[in-house]
Structure 1
Amino acid sequence: MINLNPSLDEYISIYLHQTDLLITSEVKNKLAPFNIAPEQNLVMMLLWKKDGLSQQEIAEKLKKDKTNIARMLLNLEKKGLIRRVCCQHDRRSLKVFLTDKGDQLKTVIIPIAQEINQRIYKGISEEELQTVRSVLSKIHENLR
Protein backbone atom coordinates (compact mmCIF):
# COMPACT_ATOMS: atom_id res chain seq x y z
CA MET A 1 0.00 0.00 0.00
CA ILE A 2 1.38 3.40 -0.98
CA ASN A 3 1.58 5.91 1.86
CA LEU A 4 -0.31 8.99 0.62
CA ASN A 5 0.79 11.01 3.64
CA PRO A 6 4.56 10.47 3.68
CA SER A 7 7.06 12.19 5.91
CA LEU A 8 9.19 14.84 4.24
CA ASP A 9 12.09 12.47 3.55
CA GLU A 10 9.73 9.94 1.95
CA TYR A 11 8.44 12.22 -0.82
CA ILE A 12 9.58 10.77 -4.13
CA SER A 13 9.73 14.25 -5.67
CA ILE A 14 12.30 15.38 -3.09
CA TYR A 15 14.35 12.22 -3.59
CA LEU A 16 14.28 12.65 -7.36
CA HIS A 17 15.22 16.32 -7.07
CA GLN A 18 18.15 15.58 -4.74
CA THR A 19 19.38 12.83 -7.05
CA ASP A 20 19.10 15.13 -10.07
CA LEU A 21 21.09 17.81 -8.21
CA LEU A 22 23.86 15.30 -7.43
CA ILE A 23 24.05 14.10 -11.02
CA THR A 24 23.95 17.65 -12.42
CA SER A 25 26.65 18.76 -9.98
CA GLU A 26 28.89 15.86 -11.01
CA VAL A 27 28.40 16.58 -14.71
CA LYS A 28 28.97 20.31 -14.15
CA ASN A 29 32.22 19.68 -12.27
CA LYS A 30 33.53 17.26 -14.90
CA LEU A 31 32.63 19.60 -17.80
CA ALA A 32 33.90 22.81 -16.14
CA PRO A 33 37.39 22.57 -17.69
CA PHE A 34 35.72 22.57 -21.13
CA ASN A 35 33.44 25.54 -20.38
CA ILE A 36 30.31 23.53 -21.19
CA ALA A 37 27.19 23.54 -19.02
CA PRO A 38 25.32 20.23 -18.50
CA GLU A 39 22.38 21.34 -20.67
CA GLN A 40 24.73 22.51 -23.42
CA ASN A 41 26.33 19.09 -23.26
CA LEU A 42 22.93 17.50 -23.99
CA VAL A 43 22.78 19.53 -27.22
CA MET A 44 26.29 18.43 -28.12
CA MET A 45 25.43 14.78 -27.41
CA LEU A 46 22.47 15.03 -29.80
CA LEU A 47 24.65 16.56 -32.51
CA TRP A 48 27.37 13.93 -32.04
CA LYS A 49 24.70 11.31 -32.75
CA LYS A 50 23.18 13.22 -35.69
CA ASP A 51 24.71 16.43 -36.99
CA GLY A 52 22.50 18.95 -38.79
CA LEU A 53 19.42 18.80 -36.57
CA SER A 54 17.05 21.73 -36.72
CA GLN A 55 16.61 24.00 -33.74
CA GLN A 56 13.04 22.67 -33.49
CA GLU A 57 14.21 19.02 -33.44
CA ILE A 58 16.67 19.80 -30.64
CA ALA A 59 13.93 21.51 -28.63
CA GLU A 60 11.60 18.54 -29.09
CA LYS A 61 14.21 15.92 -28.21
CA LEU A 62 15.27 17.78 -25.06
CA LYS A 63 11.69 18.82 -24.21
CA LYS A 64 12.78 22.44 -23.88
CA ASP A 65 11.17 25.59 -25.24
CA LYS A 66 12.65 27.13 -28.39
CA THR A 67 13.79 30.28 -26.57
CA ASN A 68 15.86 28.26 -24.11
CA ILE A 69 17.37 26.22 -26.95
CA ALA A 70 18.12 29.37 -28.98
CA ARG A 71 20.02 30.80 -25.99
CA MET A 72 22.02 27.59 -25.54
CA LEU A 73 22.84 27.45 -29.25
CA LEU A 74 23.97 31.07 -29.25
CA ASN A 75 26.36 30.31 -26.37
CA LEU A 76 27.69 27.19 -28.08
CA GLU A 77 28.15 29.20 -31.28
CA LYS A 78 30.11 31.88 -29.39
CA LYS A 79 32.37 29.13 -28.05
CA GLY A 80 33.03 27.97 -31.61
CA LEU A 81 31.47 24.53 -31.09
CA ILE A 82 28.52 24.80 -33.48
CA ARG A 83 27.29 26.88 -36.39
CA ARG A 84 23.71 27.65 -37.29
CA VAL A 85 22.66 27.73 -40.92
CA CYS A 86 19.37 28.92 -42.40
CA CYS A 87 17.46 26.10 -44.03
CA GLN A 88 17.17 26.57 -47.80
CA HIS A 89 13.53 25.44 -47.85
CA ASP A 90 12.38 27.55 -44.88
CA ARG A 91 14.33 30.70 -43.98
CA ARG A 92 12.73 30.71 -40.51
CA SER A 93 14.23 27.30 -39.73
CA LEU A 94 17.83 26.88 -38.59
CA LYS A 95 19.95 23.76 -38.92
CA VAL A 96 22.68 23.23 -36.35
CA PHE A 97 26.05 21.77 -37.33
CA LEU A 98 29.14 20.94 -35.33
CA THR A 99 32.32 22.83 -36.10
CA ASP A 100 35.58 20.87 -36.25
CA LYS A 101 36.28 22.05 -32.69
CA GLY A 102 32.85 20.84 -31.56
CA ASP A 103 33.23 17.50 -33.29
CA GLN A 104 36.68 16.90 -31.80
CA LEU A 105 35.39 17.61 -28.31
CA LYS A 106 33.45 14.32 -28.34
CA THR A 107 36.68 12.34 -27.96
CA VAL A 108 37.09 13.93 -24.52
CA ILE A 109 33.48 14.40 -23.40
CA ILE A 110 32.01 11.00 -24.30
CA PRO A 111 34.49 9.10 -22.07
CA ILE A 112 33.61 11.50 -19.24
CA ALA A 113 29.89 10.80 -19.77
CA GLN A 114 30.60 7.05 -19.82
CA GLU A 115 32.55 7.30 -16.57
CA ILE A 116 29.73 9.23 -14.89
CA ASN A 117 27.20 6.65 -16.12
CA GLN A 118 29.36 3.82 -14.75
CA ARG A 119 29.31 5.51 -11.33
CA ILE A 120 25.55 6.05 -11.51
CA TYR A 121 24.85 2.45 -12.57
CA LYS A 122 27.30 0.82 -10.12
CA GLY A 123 25.58 -2.07 -8.36
CA ILE A 124 22.39 -1.68 -10.40
CA SER A 125 21.30 -4.59 -12.58
CA GLU A 126 19.85 -4.12 -16.06
CA GLU A 127 16.52 -5.33 -14.66
CA GLU A 128 16.59 -2.72 -11.88
CA LEU A 129 17.51 -0.03 -14.36
CA GLN A 130 14.57 -1.04 -16.56
CA THR A 131 12.30 -0.84 -13.50
CA VAL A 132 13.55 2.67 -12.72
CA ARG A 133 12.87 3.76 -16.30
CA SER A 134 9.41 2.20 -16.19
CA VAL A 135 8.47 3.84 -12.89
CA LEU A 136 9.79 7.23 -14.00
CA SER A 137 7.82 6.90 -17.24
CA LYS A 138 4.65 6.22 -15.23
CA ILE A 139 5.32 9.23 -13.00
CA HIS A 140 5.87 11.35 -16.10
CA GLU A 141 2.61 10.17 -17.65
CA ASN A 142 0.71 10.71 -14.39
CA LEU A 143 1.78 14.34 -14.36
CA ARG A 144 1.05 15.09 -18.01
Structure 2
Amino acid sequence: MKQIETDNTINLMSRINERANRFILAELEKRGITDIAPSHGAVLVALFRDSELTMSEIAQRVNRDRSTVTNSVNKLIDSGYLATMKNAQDSRSTLVFLTPKGRELEPAFFQISQSLARLEYQGISAEEREIFQKVLERIYLNFS
Protein backbone atom coordinates (compact mmCIF):
# COMPACT_ATOMS: atom_id res chain seq x y z
CA MET A 1 0.00 0.00 0.00
CA LYS A 2 1.34 3.40 -1.00
CA GLN A 3 1.81 5.90 1.81
CA ILE A 4 -0.14 9.15 1.38
CA GLU A 5 2.06 12.20 1.75
CA THR A 6 0.53 14.58 4.26
CA ASP A 7 1.31 17.72 6.13
CA ASN A 8 -0.79 19.89 8.37
CA THR A 9 -0.54 23.19 6.46
CA ILE A 10 -4.25 23.51 5.67
CA ASN A 11 -5.20 22.39 9.17
CA LEU A 12 -2.80 24.91 10.69
CA MET A 13 -4.15 27.74 8.50
CA SER A 14 -7.67 26.82 9.60
CA ARG A 15 -6.67 26.82 13.28
CA ILE A 16 -4.99 30.22 12.87
CA ASN A 17 -8.18 31.54 11.28
CA GLU A 18 -10.26 30.20 14.18
CA ARG A 19 -7.98 31.84 16.75
CA ALA A 20 -7.92 35.12 14.85
CA ASN A 21 -11.72 35.10 14.72
CA ARG A 22 -11.91 34.45 18.48
CA PHE A 23 -9.48 37.33 19.05
CA ILE A 24 -11.59 39.65 16.87
CA LEU A 25 -14.82 38.65 18.63
CA ALA A 26 -13.24 39.22 22.05
CA GLU A 27 -11.96 42.65 20.99
CA LEU A 28 -15.37 43.60 19.57
CA GLU A 29 -17.05 42.45 22.77
CA LYS A 30 -14.64 44.55 24.89
CA ARG A 31 -15.95 47.53 22.95
CA GLY A 32 -19.59 46.55 23.43
CA ILE A 33 -20.03 45.38 19.83
CA THR A 34 -21.78 42.02 19.96
CA ASP A 35 -23.83 41.90 16.76
CA ILE A 36 -21.01 41.65 14.21
CA ALA A 37 -19.21 38.52 13.03
CA PRO A 38 -15.58 38.59 11.87
CA SER A 39 -16.83 37.75 8.38
CA HIS A 40 -18.64 41.10 8.28
CA GLY A 41 -15.39 42.98 8.75
CA ALA A 42 -14.29 42.87 5.11
CA VAL A 43 -17.60 44.39 3.95
CA LEU A 44 -17.38 47.17 6.53
CA VAL A 45 -13.74 47.93 5.73
CA ALA A 46 -14.56 48.17 2.01
CA LEU A 47 -17.21 50.76 2.89
CA PHE A 48 -14.89 52.63 5.26
CA ARG A 49 -12.63 53.12 2.22
CA ASP A 50 -15.36 53.90 -0.32
CA SER A 51 -18.54 55.39 1.05
CA GLU A 52 -20.90 53.85 -1.54
CA LEU A 53 -20.49 50.56 -3.39
CA THR A 54 -22.73 48.19 -5.33
CA MET A 55 -23.03 44.58 -4.17
CA SER A 56 -20.86 43.51 -7.11
CA GLU A 57 -18.17 46.03 -6.20
CA ILE A 58 -18.17 44.84 -2.59
CA ALA A 59 -17.97 41.20 -3.71
CA GLN A 60 -15.01 42.02 -5.93
CA ARG A 61 -13.18 43.99 -3.21
CA VAL A 62 -13.65 41.36 -0.51
CA ASN A 63 -13.07 38.42 -2.87
CA ARG A 64 -16.37 36.70 -2.01
CA ASP A 65 -19.28 35.60 -4.17
CA ARG A 66 -22.22 37.93 -4.47
CA SER A 67 -24.63 35.71 -2.49
CA THR A 68 -22.25 35.63 0.49
CA VAL A 69 -21.88 39.41 0.35
CA THR A 70 -25.65 39.85 0.08
CA ASN A 71 -26.15 37.77 3.25
CA SER A 72 -23.54 39.80 5.14
CA VAL A 73 -24.94 43.11 3.91
CA ASN A 74 -28.49 42.09 4.88
CA LYS A 75 -27.36 41.18 8.41
CA LEU A 76 -25.53 44.51 8.71
CA ILE A 77 -28.63 46.36 7.45
CA ASP A 78 -30.77 44.53 10.03
CA SER A 79 -28.30 45.63 12.74
CA GLY A 80 -28.46 49.25 11.58
CA TYR A 81 -24.86 49.51 10.30
CA LEU A 82 -25.65 49.73 6.58
CA ALA A 83 -28.40 51.03 4.34
CA THR A 84 -29.13 50.88 0.62
CA MET A 85 -30.44 53.17 -2.07
CA LYS A 86 -31.07 52.84 -5.79
CA ASN A 87 -28.08 53.75 -7.94
CA ALA A 88 -28.94 57.01 -9.73
CA GLN A 89 -26.55 56.15 -12.57
CA ASP A 90 -27.78 52.56 -13.04
CA SER A 91 -31.30 51.79 -11.85
CA ARG A 92 -30.57 48.04 -12.08
CA SER A 93 -28.13 48.23 -9.18
CA THR A 94 -28.34 49.20 -5.55
CA LEU A 95 -25.74 51.18 -3.64
CA VAL A 96 -24.75 50.10 -0.14
CA PHE A 97 -23.49 52.69 2.34
CA LEU A 98 -22.66 53.05 6.01
CA THR A 99 -25.19 54.56 8.37
CA PRO A 100 -23.91 56.88 11.11
CA LYS A 101 -23.96 53.82 13.43
CA GLY A 102 -21.81 51.95 10.90
CA ARG A 103 -19.39 54.84 10.50
CA GLU A 104 -18.91 54.86 14.30
CA LEU A 105 -17.32 51.39 14.02
CA GLU A 106 -14.32 52.62 12.03
CA PRO A 107 -12.05 53.59 14.96
CA ALA A 108 -12.73 50.26 16.72
CA PHE A 109 -12.01 48.31 13.54
CA PHE A 110 -8.78 50.21 13.01
CA GLN A 111 -7.66 49.52 16.59
CA ILE A 112 -8.59 45.83 16.38
CA SER A 113 -6.80 45.47 13.04
CA GLN A 114 -3.66 47.04 14.50
CA SER A 115 -3.78 44.73 17.53
CA LEU A 116 -4.34 41.68 15.34
CA ALA A 117 -1.41 42.58 13.06
CA ARG A 118 0.90 43.08 16.05
CA LEU A 119 -0.07 39.71 17.48
CA GLU A 120 0.04 37.97 14.11
CA TYR A 121 3.59 39.02 13.28
CA GLN A 122 5.06 39.12 16.79
CA GLY A 123 8.64 37.82 16.62
CA ILE A 124 8.60 37.64 12.81
CA SER A 125 11.00 39.77 10.79
CA ALA A 126 9.91 41.91 7.84
CA GLU A 127 11.80 39.56 5.52
CA GLU A 128 10.07 36.48 6.96
CA ARG A 129 6.72 38.22 6.66
CA GLU A 130 7.34 39.04 2.99
CA ILE A 131 8.37 35.45 2.20
CA PHE A 132 5.38 34.10 4.13
CA GLN A 133 2.97 36.34 2.21
CA LYS A 134 4.43 35.21 -1.13
CA VAL A 135 4.17 31.54 -0.18
CA LEU A 136 0.57 31.95 1.00
CA GLU A 137 -0.31 33.71 -2.26
CA ARG A 138 1.21 30.84 -4.27
CA ILE A 139 -0.72 28.26 -2.23
CA TYR A 140 -3.90 30.27 -2.80
CA LEU A 141 -3.26 30.44 -6.54
CA ASN A 142 -2.66 26.67 -6.63
CA PHE A 143 -6.35 26.26 -5.77
CA SER A 144 -7.54 28.64 -8.50
TM normalised by structure 2 equals: 0.87
Contact persistence 2:80–2:99 (CA under 8 A): yes
Unaligned runs of 5+ in 1: none
Return the alpha-carbon distance in structure 2 between the equivalents of residues 71 and 5 of structure 1: 38
| Residue 48 (structure 1) shift | 0.9
Q: Deviations over 1:97-121 (max 9, x none)?
A: 1111111221222112211211111
Contact persistence 1:54–1:93 (CA under 8 A): yes
Unaligned runs of 5+ in 2: none
Return the alpha-carbon distance in structure 2 between the equivalents of residues 48 and 106 of structure 1: 7
2:26 alignment partner AA:
N
Q: Deviations over 1:33-75 (max 9, x none)?
A: 3121101121111111111121101111222111111111111
Which one has a larger percent helix, Structure 1 or Structure 2? 1
Q: Deviations over 1:4-30 (max 9, x none)?
A: 713xxx321111111111112211222
Q: Deviations over 1:86-135 (max 9, x none)?
A: 11232221111111111122122211221121111111111111111100
State the partner residue of 1:51: 51
Q: Which runs of 4+ in 1 moved over 4 A?
A: none
> Paired residues, what number?
138
Contact persistence 2:48–2:106 (CA under 8 A): yes
State the partner residue of 1:11: 8
Question: How large is the RMSD of aligned CA atoms in angstroms?
Answer: 1.5
TM normalised by structure 1 equals: 0.87
